[in-house]
Every structure is written in C-alpha cells, then in structure tokens.
Homo-oligomer: A and B are copies of this chain.
Amino acid sequence: MPRLHAPAPLLLDRLRTLLGPQGFVTDPDLVTPWLTDWRDRYRGETLALLAPSSTAQVAEVVRLAAEARVALVPQGGNTGTVGGATPPADGSALLLSLRRMNRIRSISAEDNAVIAEAGVILSDLHDAAAAIGRRFPLSLAAKGSATVGGLVSTNAGGTQVLRFGPMRALVLGVEAVLPDGSRFEGLATLRKDNRGYDLRQLLTGAEGTLGVVTAAALRLVPAVAARAVAWVGVPDPRAALALLRRLEERTGEAVESFELVPADALALVLRNIGGARAPLADPCPWNVLVEAIGSTGGPDPRDALEQALAAAIEDGLVVDATIAANEAQAEALWALRESISEAEKIDGPSLKHDISVPVSEMPAFLERERERIEARYPGSRIIAFGHLGDGNIHFNLLPPENASRRAWIAEHGAAASALVHDRVAAAGGSLSAEHGIGQAKLDEFARLTDPVRLHALRAIKQAFDPLGIMNPGKLVPLASDDEDQ
C-alpha cells in the first residue's frame, strides 16, 4: 500500500472551511475525551476532530483525505472495547466523528422499519420505536452512548441476539461514503433484495475500514405487550443450556435473553455496585437471567415461565428461581447483569476474552478451560459470564489477589490470552464473538487465522481502499511485507 501522509496545513484549512467551527474541533477540552478508548487501554492523538453534519460533508471530507492520502478514523459513541475507534498515537490520522449526524430520517410502523443516521444514540432509537408502538430489538449496557453507526460497523451483539440476531440481522440497508469519497446509496427498507453481492453485509462489521457508514435502515418488531424476567439458580452451565432448549420449545421462542452469571460475577456486583441486592436467598454456583416476551392478546409469558421453571426444579435442572413481580423488580434483575463489566472495572484491571464456541460445547469448554487456566496461573480466577444461548461468553481472567494486577497483566497477560485463544481455536471457536478485532486483537487474529481467510480479507480491503486511508491498523492484519503502522 502507498504511504500515507500527515495532515498538512492546507488540508486542515480546507476542512475548517468545509465544516465550520462546530464541525472542525481542535480545542483540547473537546477533543481529548475522544482520544482514549472506553477501557482506557489506548491513547491517540489527532490534529483535529472532524464532525460533519451531513452525508455530503462526510463525502467531501473523505474525498479531501483521499486526495491528500491522510488517514481517517471514524468514531461513534466511542464505547467499543478493542480500540477500533481510537486514532494512532502519532497524530497522523484525523478523527471523524459521526455524532452530529443524529437525525431519524423516517420511521414507519407499517414497514416495521426506521432509517437513522449514524450518530443516533441507541436509547434514542429505542424511544423513537416505542413512540410508534414498535421496538428495536437490540440492546447493550452502553445503550446511552453507543450510536447506530458504531453498532452497524462493529456488528454489535448484546443481550437479545438469541431471538433476533446481532446487528447484521437487523440491518435492512446502509448508506455509506466509500474510501474514494463516493456515496453508496443502499438505504431502502427492502426486506428482500438479491442484486449482487450484499454490500450492506460487507459494511456491517467492517469497523470503518471499507468506508464510513452514515445512515442505516433498520428492522423494527412489534412492541412488547408483556415481559417476564426471572433469575434462576442452576447447578452448572450444562443444566442452564438444557433449561434454555426446554424453554424455547415450550414458549414458541419467546425467550429473548438467556444470560449466564456465575456466583463470583454476582458477588463482584453485590460488592461494588451501590444498591445491588442478592436475588436468591442462597447463592447458587451459576445463575441465569431469563427474559420471555408475550404478545398482545396472547398468554402471559409469566405463566409459561413459572410452569416451566417449576417443572425444571422438579427435574433438578434448576435449584431456585425468582420471577420479577413488576417492572421495577425486572429492572433490578437486569441491572445485576448489566453491572458486571462496571463491577469488574471497579475491582481492578482484568484480562478480557470475548469468545464463542458452538453452543453445545460451551458448558464443557467452561469447565475444562477454567480449570486449566486457573491451574496454569495459580491464584488467578476466571469469571465467565454472558450469552450462553449464543455460545458467546466473556471469559475474563482476574489476576491473583496478592499481585499488583497491572503488573501481573503486563508480565503474563499476553501469554495467558494466547493460551485462552489457543483453546478457543482448538474448539473451533472465535476469539472475537461480538467485540470485533479493532487494534486490540489484531495480532492474535493474524496468528490464529488461516491464510485463505486472511488473504480474502486483504483482497477486499485492497479492492475498496487501495490507498489505505480508512481506519488503518484496525481489523485487517496487513501482510508482513506491506507498509503500514
């Protein structure tokens, strides 16, 4: 790939003129917060934060950057966990924020669809859907900051993937500016469209390396008429999975969330998060948060869940369970699940792994690999929680209590993560189930991915972005003889 240049004064002048004072930001107080990733692992620099307010402006920014061979780093809510939206530390790239493009262009109950610009915040999207009696069935803990553009570009997952799939399954169309500044107009809310390779799907999850997503057409579903939320104590993950399959068969796939929470993750939350209360009388080694949804005029999902859980207790699949009696209790149960990351963060640094294996293999994987890792690093603890029904667990390693965590991670982190990833690869799994590759996992991705796949990824990158200006150093491991930071 050709060499990139640092942004020259002439380019910066042009961009300042194009974007105006609100769209061309250099005030350190306004720029600095966006130069660090959410987990505080990467720090970048940039000469300017560009914040265009329209697709036309984005197209002109990209055109100018391509002409000058200057790198761009697209950014949404900056809630990613792999450093995918953090610019490089050498200040060679310009930060391209989509947050000012935050209009909902159209929304239709008849179409069950919404067209939202990249900067629309997820919780605002939820509200807009609710206002027309619909919902957008994807949610995650960062919903107050995460944006549509970031959700699309990272193919975000979250706690409702079980029924409705990840972002990829909800994207009906995409509008994007490609790396040469051309506009890809793929925004129609068509349910079916077989005109050539699916560019929407290619841009979804591309982490801004193939272009800048400026808007997306997204699927909506009917609003929830009633929901039942339960906290269920189970003896082990195997019982949890058996419970899930049983609930799916008996509730017509009304189960939308099925989140696994081990005793130690719950203990972290109870210790570190104010107001958190234990949901069951006695702690269980493993827990599941279940949400089932009911439709208008349909049976109460509470009844179905109650009956199924009672039967499961008799069969020994379930130790104890509580069903939320009202919305406040339901929210409190959800808060326990959604506070795990925050509680971990307060506890101190940990080594995180966002892995997937085939669903049926996850219980054995958890048991086997937890033992293996804890034996290899005495005193360390594995906290494994998350989306069991998707085969996607956050498999996090807490360093030994008596060590300085930061020092331990600096010394052992790379080797420990490599061991986890090796085990995942051996099980036919993925080292990035939902968080993406970004910069954090680039080396491990390159190490563990077969050459055919890598070759295909590089060929696509080269086909779309021959100058290499779009978010260089993210997602696609470059060939070793290529030149790129």
Residue contact A456 to B445, C-beta cutoff 8 Å: no
Q: Is the beta-carbon distance between B252 and A293 smaller than 8 angstroms?
A: yes
Which of B155, B250, B462 has a CB less than 8 Å from the CB of A295? B250
Per-position contact with B for A179-193: 1 when CB-CB < 8 Å, else 0?
A: 000111110111111
Asked whether B165 lies within 8 Å of A453 as measured between CB atoms, the reply is no
> Which residues of B have CB within 8 Å of A109?
245
Chain B residue nearest to A476 in the complex (CB): B196
Counting every copy of the chain, the complex holds 2
CA distance A304 to B450 in the complex (A): 51
CB closest chain-B residue, reference A167 = B194
Q: Is A108 an interface residue (CB 8 A)?
A: yes
Q: Is the beta-carbon distance between A194 and B110 smaller than 8 angstroms?
A: no
Instruction: Kindly list the 4 A-B residue pairs having the minimum CB-CB distance in the complex, ordered from nearest.
Output: A252-B295, A201-B201, A110-B360, A459-B463
User: Shortest CB–CB separation between residue A447 and chain B, in angstroms?
Assistant: 12
In the complex the two chains form, what is the Cα distance from A449 to B435 in whole Å? 34
Q: Is A297 part of the contact surface with B, judged by Cβ < 8 Å?
A: yes
Q: Does A240 interact with chain B (Cβ within 8 Å)?
A: no
Query: Within the assembled complex, what's the spacing in Å between the Cα atoms of A171 and B183?
Result: 29
Partner of A252, one of B190, B198, B249, B252: B252
Task: Let me know if A320 is at the binding interface, CB within 8 A.
Answer: no
15 additional A-B residue pairs with CB within 8 Å, beyond A190-B358, A191-B389, A192-B430: A108-B358, A111-B359, A154-B194, A155-B198, A161-B192, A183-B452, A184-B456, A188-B430, A192-B387, A195-B445, A196-B476, A199-B453, A222-B248, A251-B295, A460-B463
Residues on B with beta carbons closer than 8 Å to the beta carbon of A108: 358, 360
A12 to chain B, nearest CB (A): 28
Cα distance A220–B250 when bound, in Å? 16
Min C-beta distance of A161 to chain B, whole Å: 7
Q: Are A178 and B456 in contact (CB under 8 A)?
A: yes
CB-based contact A186/B304 at 8 Å: no
Q: Is A192 touching B356 in the complex (CB atoms < 8 A)?
A: yes
Bound Cα distance A120, B151 (Å): 36
Complex interface: stretch among A2-10, A123-131, A139-147, A202-210: A202-210
| A245 to B, closest residue via Cβ | B110
With both beta carbons as reference points, the residue of chain B lying nearest to A166 in the complex is identified as B192
**Any chain B CB within 8 A of the CB of A357?**
yes
Across the interface, do B250 and A298 meet the contact criterion of CB distance under 8 Å?
Answer: yes
Q: Which of B221, B390, B449, B456 contacts A192 (CB 8 A)?
A: B390
A197 x B190 contact (CB < 8 A): no
- Which residue, A188, A190, A195, A437, has most C-beta atoms of chain B within 10 A? A195
**Residues of the B chain whose Cβ atoms lie less than 8 Å from the Cβ of A252:** 222, 252, 254, 293-295, 298
**Within the assembled complex, what's the spacing in Å between the Cα atoms of A169 and B169?**
7
Minimal beta-carbon separation of A182 from chain B (angstroms): 5
Q: How far is the CA of A113 from the CA of B463 in the complex (A)?
A: 34
Residue A92 interfacial (CB < 8 Å): no
Q: Assuming A166-B192, A298-B251, A476-B196, is B433 touching A184 (CB within 8 A)?
A: no
Q: How many Å from the CB of A187 to the closest CB on chain B?
A: 9
A259 vs chain B, min Cβ distance (A): 14
Interface check A432, CB cutoff 8 A: yes
Q: Are A182 and B433 in contact (CB under 8 A)?
A: no
B194 and A204 within 8 A (CB) = no
Cβ contacts under 8 Å, A291 to chain B: none
Q: Residues of B contacting A192 with CB < 8 Å?
A: 157, 161, 166, 356, 387, 390-392, 430, 433-434
| Known contacts A197-B460, A359-B110, A433-B192; is-contact A453 B250 (Cβ 8 Å) | no
